[in-house]
Amino acid sequence: MPTAESRRLTVPGGEVSALLLRPPNAKWMLVLAHGAGAGMSHPFMAALAEELARLDVATLRYQFPYMEGRTRRPDLPAVAAATVATAARAAREAASDLPLFVGGKSFGGRMSSTAAAEGLLDGVSGLVFFGFPLHPPKRPGTKRAEHLEKVKIPMLFLQGTRDDLADLSLLRPICKTLGQRATLHVIDGADHSFHVLKKSGKTDEGVLRELAETTVSWAETVAKSGAFKK
């Protein structure tokens, strides 16, 4: 397994850290943003990047400014979206030979789709959401998904049945409305952190593998569909 390479990205308000992990036979590049409560080096983020690398997917993980500054309050959407766009450009420069996908865990995924909806992600083939945060815990709603109508590239939603930030009875109709742009993959028994209970018969490692394999399978489908942009 190659070692992640440290990078620095210039974003609105200063600089943030980034980690580039590119396996020798990389086929795709995924810009991978962290969730609201944990940075790019969180064990889930690191393990996901390594699992993707084993499947020949390069990743660029990066910090949002608030996380880099070690503050608890997430950046305003405008700042976060601009940071996503900067990371996407950096990934394109680092791996211009690879098709580019953008996404992230929870908040990072939602800010990625916000950037796409605002037209900030040129040349991106699709978006990947590792647990789209449709609403706050115990407060079902769909307002956070309203911008998705403006996203014109394929989207993959990876969601657990125990995710208390995404009521599937609300998310399924949203994906249906988005039509062929949206693919929903449901992981039975997984929560918002993709943790599964022992009684489920699954393991967290197995779920992580499923996340990575599903992402690769979907990317290949996007390529074959003609919606692919290099």
Average of per-residue pLDDT values in the chain: 95
> Which pLDDT belongs to residue 13?
76
> Which pLDDT belongs to residue 163?
97
Domains of the chain, each with CATH number or no CATH: 5-225 (3.40.50.1820)
> Which pLDDT belongs to residue 226?
66
> Which pLDDT belongs to residue 150?
98
> Which pLDDT belongs to residue 230?
43
Task: For residues 150-162, give the mean pLDDT.
Answer: 97
pLDDT in tens, 97-150: 999 999 999 999 999 999 999 999 999 999 999 999 999 998 999 999 999 999
- SS3 annotation, the chain: CCCCEEEEEEECCEEEEEEEECCCCCCEEEEEECCCCCCCCCHHHHHHHHHHHHCCEEEEEECCHHHHCCCCCCCCHHHHHHHHHHHHHHHHHHCCCCCEEEEEECHHHHHHHHHHHCCCCCCCCEEEEECCCCCCCCCCCCHHHHHHHHCCCCEEEEEECCCCCCCHHHHHHHHHHHHHHEEEEEECCCCCCCCCCHHHCCCHHHHHHHHHHHHHHHHHHHHHHCCCCC
Q: Provide the whole-model pTM.
A: 0.95
> Which pLDDT belongs to residue 173?
98
pLDDT in tens, 72-91: 899 999 999 999 999 999 99
pLDDT in tens, 196-225: 998 888 999 999 999 999 999 999 999 887
